């Protein structure tokens, strides 16, 4: 009779999760990597794309960009912050215009807001692409 080792159960051992070699919250003994700062041209590119994305997708690109890129450099952080504040302000304007759509002024307000979003977002994108700081006019500062 040959001695065969007992079969190893599939899956994690007691006290271990999948992909863990032991220890709490560590995968394979790796330490979390610090966030790498972006190169200046990458910061300019992302800032430009976030401003332009606001024209089509409202506050979503600015929110995602702020949450993901805010620690990658001061330039992209400031541009995503200002874009997010502007887009939140415009979302409030759209809600007010929807409420006022009972009377004609609501439709007119929504049209003016849409035109302002396009114009100011293009101006901000051009400034970001040139590496310049930009602050949207008519904006409430929600995120500081």
Instruction: Give the whole-angstrom CA distance, residue 99 versus residue 54.
Output: 23
pLDDT range class, residue 133, cuts 50, 70, 90: very high
Q: What pTM was estimated for this model as a whole?
A: 0.76
Q: Is 65 in a helix, a strand, or coil?
A: helix
Domain boundaries, given as residue ranges, for the chain: 40-129
To the nearest 5 percent, what fractions of the chain are helix, strand and coil?
55, 0, 45
Q: What's the pLDDT at 132? A: 97
Look at residues 122, 126, 121, 99 and name the one whose alpha carbon lies nearest to residue 110.
99
pLDDT at 97 over 60: yes
- In terms of average pLDDT, the best of 20-24, 29-33, 77-81 is 77-81
């Amino acid at each position: 009779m040959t001695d065969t080792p007992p079969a190893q159960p599939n899956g994690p051992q007691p006290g271990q999760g999948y992909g863990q070699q032991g220890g709490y919250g560590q995968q394979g003994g790796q330490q979390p990597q610090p966030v790498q700062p972006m190169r200046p041209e990458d910061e300019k590119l992302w800032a430009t794309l976030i401003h332009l994305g606001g024209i089509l997708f409202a506050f979503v690109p600015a929110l995602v960009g702020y949450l993901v890129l805010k620690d990658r450099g001061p330039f992209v952080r400031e541009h995503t912050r200002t874009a997010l504040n502007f887009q939140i302000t415009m979302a409030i304007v759209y809600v007010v215009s929807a409420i006022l759509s009972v009377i004609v002024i609501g439709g007119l307000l929504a049209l003016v807001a849409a035109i302002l979003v396009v114009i100011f977002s293009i101006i901000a994108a051009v400034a970001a692409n040139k590496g310049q700081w930009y602050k949207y006019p008519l904006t409430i500062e929600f995120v500081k």
